[in-house]
Structure 1
Amino acid sequence: MAMARGGGSSGTSFLVVFAIVLIDMLGFGIVSPVLPGLIMDLTRVDISTAAGYAGWLGAGYAVMQFAFAPVIGNLSDRFGRRPVLLAAVLMLGLNYLLQALAPNFGWLIAGRLLAGITGASFSAAYAYIADVTPPEKRAAAFGTMGLAFGIGFVVGPALGGLLGSIDARLPFYTAAGLALANAAFGYFFLQESLTPENRRPFDWRRANAFAALQVLKGQSPTVLWFVAALGMWQLAHIVYPAIWPYFAIAAYGFDTAQVGLALAMVGLGSALVQGLALRLFLPKLGERRAVMLGVAGVCLSTVLYMLAVETWQVYVAIAVGSLQGFVQSPILAFNSRAVDARSQGELQGAVQSIGSIAQIIGPPVYAQALERFSGPGAAVQLPAMPLVIASAVAVVVLLLFLKGASLLERKT
């Protein structure tokens, strides 16, 4: 690994990248509990109208990630991971300050759109991990990044709710402080991971997902199978943040506290699997069987959700569903091995961009499924239908991955 700037060790640099991802997820989670109230305060509308505005903000966030993840990934291939990551986390902190000080809804819209752009830095973060990790250890390393997502999913909303009870804008100031502190720490300790000989010129024509994939498939056509699998996995996984709370209310009559606790357990279980179980069991299972186990866990948990009539049975389903943490990281590892070191940023940008499409189309699909299969007007009472759909998508993920894996191994 290059030692271009920064004085920390490679282990410290890994921790800084982990912190960048963690703080990004924490910031997203911290502001989520207070966002509805802030929207109502700025627009003077009721909660139902504010929910509609929030939906459009979420879609705008995802569109920005779709557009800018390939740009940021390509920039990191040209200038290195360090300057791109530091710039992104610095802009993230300034963006949270913008939202904290927002005097009207227009400022808040601008802030959320900028958050989508800075959130696209995940592509450079994952490329960094690919740079510094041997191919055979990348699945576990990517799993550690998944641990950051899980911690953010659990801790962020809880911390945001606590801070928001003091002042509605305090979570934004807190998220800004965390991001700016991380930028300062990274400036001194984050090393560069991409050596000069592995850099390539930036080309705007390749700075979008579809053009990038056209180029990358020239190195290995298996890229298309893996990116398709990862995109479909995002579509399957988005069911939890998008619709699970509404499903729990419709199916089990959960109140707000029960929903919050259950969602925390979903995030905690996934984090433990990705951060710990992957490292312990992946050497014995192998990447193929790990993905199979994860998809099986998704499908079995859906059956358990459908059968559950007691609260403890719901938590059994959550525990089984946490096996989904075995799915994404091995596919990312296979995908990173399909291209050379000069193209890791471009590849990760394309992956994040395609995955953001799921954030746009997934929530309305699952919402429609819940609406049609629950409530007094439903022809068939099956509130778990969104989870059934997500399980079917997960099976497609497995088929796409196995096809790509067999082609890659045949090539090598």
Structure 2
Amino acid sequence: MDRIRAEPELSHAQRRKVIRVTYVIAALDITWMFMQFSVTPFLAKKLGFDTLWFGYLQTLVGVLQLIGNPLFGRFGDLFGAQAALSLSCGATIVFFLLLASAEHPAMLFIHKLPTLFMHVLPASQMVVTDLSDPDRRADSLSKLGLCFGIGMIAGSTLGGHLNTRYGEKFTACVGAVGSAFSLLLVLKFIPKTTKAPTKTNSEAEKRSLFSLGEITRLLKYPGVTPTFIVKIAAGLPSGIFQSMFLIIALDMFKLDPEQNGYLMAFFGISQMFIQGVVIGPLTARFKEPTLLLLSIAISAAVGLGQAYMQTMVHFCLTVVPMMFFLSVFNVITDSILTKSVPSSDSGTMLGLCAAVQSLLRTVGPTLGGVLYVNGGVMSIGLTQCAVNVAVFGLLLLKPLSSDHHTSKTHGE
């Protein structure tokens, strides 16, 4: 297989420029993805899908992403940032073209197959991780969350208008054109590799892309496995609630589509504020293990609040602290994990982090359905509270350390 060649190290100004362009690429990709969310449900309904089959469709995406994330991260480490982002943007173009041509139920399943390679956000995280200083990594990664919020609002709004006025096919074609533009940005501005030239890089190039051992060996680094356990244990309850949110909104709060849109916008604005304004100063003032404890404590309080909420006002009061937990928790755990491995393995590590999110999205709906049917919203909220209290107690007894930095990165 081809190997990336060592390039001259980027200057400080060049690194900042690449990071800014990466933020733009990530924001555009999220925009196209949320624009797609305004197409697929309506098209699925037209093609005769019921709730069960639509659930199967979403499960397929979760499984494909679960498999693809670690492999894609490994691909980025071996072949470089430009190749990784190009592959992802190219897969997104195919994804939208297949969606535009979907006239049979089977085509909806076929059009999801490219999601195996659609990992623009993890690839963007790899670029930011490689080019940012370790002390500012959490802040730099949080800006990608800001891009997510921008893309969520822009994509939902644009997709709704295009689908209403011009239909599903036209909207999907716009997504394909937009993804092609993203690909041009990647080819123009993203260097072939963003990693510092080290001996570790040349060793990594000799390893197999499909070697499970080369991917799982990262779990042997100090602190990596405990951090992953915390990431899964504390993240699963909130993932369950997110997977059941639409059902709760319809059953408990009786929201219509317009009101649901306003609520999603509130989610996006809250996330943008926290990722863009709050996380930076927090990471500059407090150590990462401290922020991790704070986020888990807040998640426990949010679960308790959601267990006893009665009105939409009560729920809105829990949204901001819930978004704070999700933003801080994911950024801090990703930052700790990427600092725990060599820079040559940052893509693989971020792929494993993304795989955790895919795993939670895959099992969350099933567990959420069981809890909701048997105990309602209260059972989901109390589960989140109890699990996070337990994780908080364990971290007090045996804190995670963010001091074992084996990676060497550029300064931003």
Same fold (TM over 0.5): yes
Residue equivalent to 2:94: 94
The verdict on how the C-alpha distance between 1:322 and 1:37 changes in structure 2, with shifts beyond 3 A counting, is closer
Most deviating of 222-231 and 398-407: 398-407
1:305 aligns with: 306
d(CA) in 1 for partners of 2:26, 2:368: 27
Q: Counterpart of 1:370?
A: 372
Letter in 2 for 1:87: L
The correspondence for 2:345, drawn from 343, 346, 349, is 343
Cα 1:201/1:403, change in 2 over 3 Å: farther
Instruction: Tell me the residue number matched to 1:386.
Output: 380
Cα RMSD of the aligned pairs, angstroms, is: 2.8
CA displacement 1:243-267 (0-9 Å, x = unmatched):
1122233333333332332232123
Q: Work out whether 1:201 is the aligned partner of 2:205.
A: yes
1:177 aligns with 2:174: no
Residues 1:352 and 1:310: Cα distance change in structure 2 (over 3 Å)? closer
Aligned to 1:17: 22
Moved more, 331-340 or 313-322: 313-322
Q: Quote the offset at 1:93 in angstroms.
A: 1.8
Compared CA separation, residues 83 and 396, structure 1 to 2 (3 A): farther
Counterpart contact for 1:96–1:173, Cα < 8 Å: yes
C-alpha change, 1:359 and 1:178, in structure 2 (3 Å) is same
Aligned equivalent of 2:3:
none
1:157 Cα deviation from its structure 2 partner: 2.5
Q: Identity of paired residues, percent?
A: 18
Q: Indicate if the aligned counterparts of 2:64 and 2:116 stay in contact, CA closer than 8 A.
A: yes
Residue 380 of structure 1: aligned partner: none
SS of structure 1 residue aligned to 2:195: coil
Q: Would the aligned equivalents of 2:338 and 2:346 in 1 still touch at CA under 8 Å?
A: yes
The answer to which of 302-311 and 354-363 deviates more is: 302-311
Q: Which residue of 1 aligns with 2:410?
A: none
SS of 1:373 mapped into structure 2: helix
What do residues 77-111 of structure 1 show as CA deviations (whole Å, max 9, x unaligned)? 11111211122112212321221122323232121
Matched AA of 2:296 = V
Q: Is the 8 A contact 1:123 1:349 kept in 2?
A: yes
Does 1:67 find its partner at 2:67? yes
Cα–Cα, structure 1 residues 229 and 120, in superposed 2: closer, same or farther, change >3 Å? farther
Residues 6-405 of structure 1: matches in 2 within 5 Å? 9-42=14-47, 45=48, 49-114=49-114, 116-166=115-165, 167-191=167-191, 192-197=193-198, 198-199=200-201, 200-201=204-205, 203-204=207-208, 207-208=211-212, 211-212=213-214, 214-218=216-220, 220-324=221-325, 325-374=327-376, 383-395=377-389, 398=392
What secondary structure is seen at the aligned counterpart in 1 of 2:252?
helix
Distance 1:348 1:100 in 2: 31
8 Å CA contact retained: 2:38, 2:159? yes
Q: CA deviation at 1:231?
A: 3.2
Kindly provide the CA deviation profile for residues 308-345 of structure 1, in whole angstroms up to 9, marking residues without a partner as x: 44443332222232321221111111111111111111
Letter in 2 for 1:94: V
**Matches of 1:227 and 1:102 in 2, distance apart?**
38
> In structure 1, what is the Cα distance between the partners aligned to 2:29 and 2:292?
26
- Return the offset for 1:229: 2.5
CA contact (8 A) 2:78 2:209 kept: no
Q: State how many pairs are aligned.
A: 393
Structure 1 residues 71 and 19, CA, compared in 2 at 3 Å: closer, same or farther?
same
> Counterpart of 1:358 in structure 2: which amino acid?
L
C-alpha distance 353-406 of structure 1, shift in aligned 2 (>3 A): closer
Report the CA distance shift for 1:389/1:206 in structure 2 as closer, same or farther (over 3 A). farther
Secondary structure, in 3 states, of the residue corresponding to 1:253?
Answer: coil
CA change 1:13–1:410 in 2 (3 A) is closer
Asked whether the equivalents of residues 218 and 349 of structure 2 are also in contact (C-alpha less than 8 Å), the reply is yes
Per-residue deviation, 1:403: 7.6
Structure 2 CA distance for aligned equivalents of residues 384 and 163 of structure 1 = 38
How far apart are residue 3 of structure 1 and its match?
Answer: 5.2
Greater shift in the superposed pair: 392-401 or 92-101: 392-401
Q: Name the CA distance, whole Å, in 2 between partners of 1:151 and 1:68.
A: 25
Cα separation, 2, equivalents of 1:119 and 1:127: 14
Structure 1 residue 278: Cα displacement: 0.4
Cα distance, 1:233 vs. partner? 4.7
Q: Cα gap change, 1:223/1:239 in structure 2, threshold over 3 Å: closer, same or farther?
A: same
Query: 1:247·1:384 contact (CA, 8 Å) conserved in 2?
Result: no
